[in-house]
Structure 1
Amino acid sequence: MRKALKGLLIIALSLVLLTGCSKTVNTQVSNGEQVIMDIKGNEITKAEIYKYLKLRFGPNLITTNLIDMQLEQHVTLDAQDEKEGQRLLEETKELLKEDFEQIIVASGYKDVDDYYNRVILSKLKNEKLFDTYLSENLKEITDGLSSAKVKKIKTNSKPQAEQALAELKEKESVTAEDFVSMANTYSNEEIKGETKVEHVYEERAELKFLNEKLVNAKPGLVDEVIMDGDAFYVIFFEEMDLEADKDVIIASIKENQSVNPIVSQSMFAHYSSLGNFTIHDTDLYDLFKESNPFLVK
């Protein structure tokens, strides 16, 4: 299962190559031995402060610049986007009222324009890039997530679930309509026989068995009753058409708070791969590699 979870981050993606140096190289500052401060006899040098700042803020600075590069290079906002940006800005002003400018300045923004560009427009650009990435790479994404359309019958009684499964097995070939009809008889869910697009993800709290069943799932009836907590399930996988079901699949990814970050990370890797970059400092390279392993071959 873990292999399937990580598959999205590597399959069909040319991941960015972080180029380290063949020799140990650490960037330095001039006059590194200069003592900047002395705390009760403990001297702190310019070089020590530089190394702290480099390792404390360096990886975030690299990530921020990579994201900014991606948004600038791959996203163009149109008049409709600008209109939405202004709407969001006015909405924020209305929320914060007379404290708006004071709050954004206290939060580190130079002025309203700086906040608008760095927060609101960046948000719109990121959403637009995410939509493009999903649309253009949907097959690779759904393969990595082992995505599938799922119908289920849920009961609190194992004998009822077994009876529903037995009746379905009597049919020569079970269709989605057959399954919905059986769900109307046996399922205790409010919306009976509903189709949902499900994905494999490690943080799944409900229907954990799907992390196993989705991998290599074939359309049709699952040949067993599955227990999850106090409930018993009969499962049916529907045929999924990436073109016809595109909107539903994309919505399922964007709305799932566990799946969305996984795909966002793969988007970051994908667009970063379109331009190699070099980190010359060994300490910084190792630290960035540790926190972003999906970016390293």
Structure 2
Amino acid sequence: MKANKIKGLLAIGCTCMLIGGCSNSTTINNASDVLFTVGETTVTRGDEYDLVKNANGSTLTIELVRQAIMDEEIGRTEEIQKEAEEQYDSNASSVDNYEESLKEAGYKDKDDYIEKVIIPTIQQEKLLDQYFTDAKEEITKTYKPTIAKILECDTREDAKNALSALQDGKDEATVWDTYSRESANFSNEEIVVSTLMEETLPTYVINTLYSQDEAGIVDEVMTDDESEDGPYYVAILVSKDYDENKEKIQENLTLRNSDQIDNDCLVYYMKKHNLEFHDQEIFDSIRSTNPEYIVNHPELAEEEGQ
């Protein structure tokens, strides 16, 4: 599906298109068509459009954008259709009158539910997988992921002794057992370190691991610059090879903040497809809630972050 197909998807019953720049409020065909009349009051398709737009227009627009991106990037292949059918059958096998319950929930039938729910879910999962490949540079720059071991000590003296012991080749498990603080957040295990850990690990430790070129022991005792009482950290960089650890990194970052990662993914592909909003009211609404979605005006997101 090419860009013009995305334009078509976004134009159907919503307020978003991918061409040109931001302009005045958009209109719909047949706006004067009457939906119903009560006494002297007549409601048209144009009234319906305005009601939907004003009530939830920006949210609906973004969902249509998301779906258009997934259809463009992932598509609706036979493989996805087969996977969706299998998921449906699995769900239905454990629930009595499953299709009837879907109809009660507002879906026409099995195919309608597969089309509107299961396939988009599968597409979203596959898009996220693709994002962690396509956006390697952006992800590493933002989240600085590494694979490391972190030893957390109560005192600087303990940390110095632990660092010396590791540099002398002492058994790691013994060093951890000897010097790790009782309330330590980390054990002698490899973990994914990233900027999403800044509440439990000083930024300095995260940056130092990411800036180290070769795997091995970090040759310094580290702490939070704003704390005079510790804790103090000793670290071993296991790997900073993104490609080698992509699955671990994806799982960890998504687990730590799935909403942020999903949003990053959406913005990445909005930028790729040079997304622009034509309806001024929708533009203004999205600008106030998610300025990062106005991808042709990145300064808006910067202003929001100040």
Structure 2 length-normalised TM = 0.69
Q: Distance in 2 between matches of 1:216 and 1:146?
A: 10
CA RMSD of aligned residues (A): 4.0
Write out aligned runs for 1:28-67 (5 A).
50-67=49-66
Does residue 103 (structure 1) correspond to residue 95 (structure 2)? The answer is no
Gaps of 5+ in 2: 1-17, 213-217, 298-306
1:19 Cα deviation (Å)? 2.3
Cα displacement string for residues 53-108 of structure 1 (whole angstroms, at most 9, x for unaligned residues):
2121321232122122112111146665444323321222134322x223212323
Tell me how far apart the structure 1 counterparts of residues 145 and 169 of structure 2 sit (CA, whole Å). Answer: 18
- Superposed, 1:1-297 pairs within 5 Å as 19-21=21-23, 25=25, 27=27, 50-76=49-75, 81-98=80-97, 100-154=98-152, 158=154, 161-170=155-164, 174=167, 181-187=174-180, 188=182, 192-201=187-196, 207=200, 209-211=201-203, 213-215=205-207, 217=209, 218-219=211-212, 220-221=218-219, 223-225=221-223, 232-236=231-235, 238=237, 239-256=239-256, 258=257, 260-296=258-294, 297=297
Amino acid of the structure 1 residue aligned with 2:175: M
Checking the alignment, whether the CA contact within 8 Å between 2:147 and 2:240 is kept in structure 1 is yes
Higher relative contact order (CA 8 A, sep 6+): 1
Contact 2:132 2:246 in 1 (8 A): no
Q: Give the whole-Å Cα distance in 2 for the aligned partners of 1:121 and 1:177.
A: 53
- In the other structure, the counterpart of 1:4 is none
Q: Deviations over 1:13-57 (max 9, x none)?
A: xxx998212xx557589669xx9779xxxx998677653321213
**Can you give the 5+ residue segments of structure 1 that lack an aligned partner in the other structure?**
1-15
- Contact 2:146–2:240 (Cα < 8 Å) also in 1: yes
Equivalent pair of 2:150/2:233 in contact (CA under 8 Å): yes
* Residues 249-278 of structure 1: per-residue CA shift (max 9 Å, x gap): 22212333x1x2222212111222233455
Contact 1:154 1:231 in 2 (8 A): no
Structure 2 CA distance for aligned equivalents of residues 192 and 80 of structure 1: 42
Q: Which moved more, 1:182-191 or 1:108-117?
A: 182-191
Alpha-carbon distance between aligned partners in 2 of 1:164 and 1:178, rounded to the nearest angstrom? 16
Question: Taking every aligned residue pair, what percent have the same amino acid on both sides?
Answer: 17
Alignment correspondent of 2:14: none
Which residue matches 2:8?
Answer: none
The one-character-per-residue Cα deviations of 1:185-239 (angstroms, maximum 9, x if unpaired) are 33356983212112223xx6951x44564246433255245699x9945241514
Structure 1 pair 26–221 and aligned structure 2 pair: CA distance change class (3 A): same
- The aligned amino acid for 1:133 is Y
Cα distance in 2 for partners of 1:250, 1:54 equals 35
174-183 or 278-287: bigger deviation: 174-183
Name the structure 2 match of 1:8.
none
**Change in 2 beyond 3 A, CA 1:120/1:151:** same
SS in 2 for 1:97: coil
CA distance in 2, matches of 1:175, 1:17: 63
| CA 114–191 in structure 1, closer or farther in 2 if over 3 Å, else same | same
Aligned residues: 264
1:68–1:205: structure 2 CA closer, same or farther, 3 Å change rule?
same
Which residue does 1:3 correspond to in 2? none
| SS of residue paired to 1:236 | strand
Distance in structure 2 (CA, Å) of the matches to 1:176 and 1:190: 24
Q: 1:236 to 1:109 in 2, by over 3 A?
A: same
